[in-house]
Amino acid sequence: MIPSSPIRKVFEGVVDRRQMYRLFDRHVGHPFRSSDAGGLHAGEWFEIAEADYDHMLDLLPPLWMRGGMFALAEYLTGSVTSIFFALRVRGRVRWFHGYCDLADRGSPERMRRAILEREALPGRGMTRAECLEHIWSEAHDAYRGHAGADWPVEARGRRFVVVYGPGLGARTRLLEELTIQEIAAKLPGRLLAVTDAAAA
């Protein structure tokens, strides 16, 4: 059996086209990207606009189309490719992109179900993991990276972001170790209402 990557939302809200292309390759700079790009991306998803769904459908002939979703014929790496979804969520159609490993034939349908389940919940705030993924997705490359040789051995390869604190100036912190206050400071104003969910 092929091990599946966890299905995870990596951006809150609908991305514009520039953001969409940036999120397609949000792991640039990862020390193991050249050998494991598929493992880094598989399972990630985010919401896009209808115009970008149509744009991607017109860009290349799809590998396949079925049930409101299509797969790009151009693979990211190995058997991992982009899947685009048009899904009816709580009475209206919305559009999404996700990376699925097609060596696992059930992965597109599992992702479809996971997106529907996540987005159908009324009034649910972001989880801590979603907050951290959104922060990583939004951070400029100059303010994020992967711990290298100047970090303790146990931290190497893990993601970090630059944070600012009163009287402390700029400093680097491992993404997974951000406090609730640091998460709240990093989230755009439109998302501040959901930071209480970050404790979960």
Highest mean pLDDT among 157-161, 168-172, 187-191: 157-161
Q: Which helix (H) or strand (E) holds 39?
A: helix 33-41
Q: How far is CA 111 from the centre of its chain?
A: 13
Report d(CA 56, CA 97) in Å as an integer: 10
Q: What is the pLDDT of residues 107-166, one digit of tens each?
A: 999 999 999 999 988 766 788 899 999 999 988 888 998 888 888 999 888 899 999 877
Angle at 47 between CA 115 and CA 180, to 5 degrees: 85
Closest CA to 100 of 124, 82, 118: 82
Mean model confidence pLDDT for the chain: 84
On the CB side of 189, how many CA atoms lie within 13 Å of its CA?
0
Q: What is the pLDDT of residues 56-86, one digit of tens each?
A: 999 988 999 998 999 999 888 888 999 999 9
